Amino acid sequence: MTLAAGLRAKGSGLAVALASLALATAFAQTPMPGSGSVRLQPDWTSLEPEIMQQFQTVLRFDTRNPPGNEHLVADYLKGVFDKAGIPAQIFALDANRSNLVARLKGNGKKKPLLIMGHSDVVTVDEAKWKFPPFSATRDGGWVYARGTVDDKDNLAGGLMTMLLLKRFNVPLDRDVIFLSEAGEEGSSNFGMQFMVNQHYPEIEAEYCLAEGGGAIRIGGVAKYTTVETLEKIPRGIELVAHGISGHGSIPLKSNAIVHLAGAVAKVGQWRPEIRFNETTGTYFRGLAQIAAPENAKYYRDVLSTDPKLRAAADEWLFENEPLHSSMLRTSVSPNIFAGGYRSNVIPSEAKATLDVRALPDEDPIRFLEQVKKIVDDPAVDVHFTAQNVRPASAFDARLDSEPYKVLEAAAKRIYNTVTLPTMSTGATDMAPLRARGVQCFGIGAAIDMEDGPKGFGMHSDQERLLETELYRFVRYNYEVVVDLARAK
Ligand SMILES: [Zn+2]
């Protein structure tokens, strides 16, 4: 690139070289509200065609998992980064399931920032789609394709951020690492686990931005923006009832199925104690301030120290907002019940599996003891399954950290909303990073609260994203990364 022009951002002393006059039109000097300083900003409107083209390109690769074929995305990105002069490398446990890492070097003053998106998507039932699921058709202001909100928005956002940082030659205090990871939808042994276990130095960072948040629009207006700062830890518990086998014509008191049924019923009706952490406490308090009064009451009451108010709110949430109910506690859901093989044989064993989603600070041994006490039947063994658990997150993302403050400020500026931290009830690819001490923040494009129930949400029959929200998210992504990484 030849340097044709140099612009100086007042206040920062930051010189930015431009490759051509054409690129200069993609810049505008925009005062940043609240900062008092002036900073160079891409001209977002003129970038829209390029953003859309990149988004559609990654959406059109059929990376439904299984089988994945994430190499289609990785190979494409490699070409884009090579052309842009950004060093990029492919890592694969299986040649068809490759990951890509690109890195922009900083001056090393701070530890790197990792931005990531997963390149696989969940499977589709093509008959349910108005437009083919890998067509990325634009219609009525929406883009339709599997992956539009999970998670090729983050992929496109990260890609554009890297390209713009390079194009505008933004000086960096820290490396910015981009990761396109395979297998997030149920086969992270090819993706995140492989990268963390075998290529950790390539992605080692102080902070990470991944999926799991975004602005929530109600009636077409952004009401609040969520950032995922924490996640629950999945564990399995098995209940195994033992009895005496025999002929079905002679019922036995020790019948294993009867004992197991009793145990599952008790566990199913049990509501483990409510416990808040920094993230969930802040979330419910924030929600109480912005929700409609009839709902706000329950968010406030569940935080109350009055046990009656709290129990009533807990009951209401369990019935009406089960996601919120799960955020309050270590949850237990009996999901497999197995026993018996002939109608005239009393089996000697019956088994149930409980899906336990533990609060990050839960003591597993203590919790297992609680389950045993609830079951209260010597004929039923209670133990953890050998299921391969994602590692516990030893390090939560802090709400008083620099990234959280930067994310809050960006949401205020770009979406005009407050930011609420959330705890995911499911496990994510951030878990192995959090376990290594990386503070991870989940972000994403804005979605309409009404769109999920209409069947257009993540993992729904169809999936779509508003074009305007794609553009807005790329800007949010870029500005957050610039704030966290640019030389100061
Ligand atoms: Zn996802």
| Cα 88 to middle of ligand 1, angstroms | 23
Burial of 159 (0-12, 13-18, 19+ CB in 10 A): buried
Confidence (pLDDT) at 40: 62
Q: Measured between alpha carbons, how far is 327 from 333 in angstroms, rounded to an integer?
A: 14
| Cα 103 to middle of ligand 1, angstroms | 22
Give residues with Cβ within 8 angstroms of 487, minimum separation 6: 14, 106, 107, 109, 171, 172, 173
| Cα 429 to middle of ligand 1, angstroms | 9
Where is 70: in which H helix or E strand? none
Confidence (pLDDT) at 458: 87
| Cα 159 to middle of ligand 1, angstroms | 17
Structure tokens at 140: 């009525």
Confidence (pLDDT) at 408: 98
| Cα 427 to middle of ligand 1, angstroms | 10
CB 143 within 8 A of CB 55: yes
Q: What is the pLDDT of residues 149-192, one digit of tens each?
A: 999 999 999 999 999 999 999 999 999 999 999 999 999 999 99
Q: What is the pLDDT of residues 109-139, one digit of tens each?
A: 999 999 999 999 999 999 999 999 999 999 9
DSSP state of 123: -
| Cα 462 to middle of ligand 1, angstroms | 15
Listed as ranges, residues in the chain with pLDDT below 70 are: 1-40, 387-395
| Cα 118 to middle of ligand 1, angstroms | 7
Confidence (pLDDT) at 105: 98
Structure tokens at 213: 């948040």
Confidence (pLDDT) at 12: 34
CB 144 within 8 A of CB 130: yes
Q: Measured between alpha carbons, how far is 333 from 353 in angstroms, rounded to an integer?
A: 9
Q: What global pTM score does this model have?
A: 0.88
CB 184 within 8 A of CB 124: no
| Cα 249 to middle of ligand 1, angstroms | 52
Judged by DSSP in three states, 470 sits in helix
Q: Measured between alpha carbons, how far is 105 from 276 in angstroms, rounded to an integer?
A: 40
Q: Measured between alpha carbons, how far is 34 from 467 in angstroms, rounded to an integer?
A: 28
| Cα 181 to middle of ligand 1, angstroms | 11
| Cα 399 to middle of ligand 1, angstroms | 23
| Cα 400 to middle of ligand 1, angstroms | 26
| Cα 209 to middle of ligand 1, angstroms | 13
| Cα 78 to middle of ligand 1, angstroms | 22
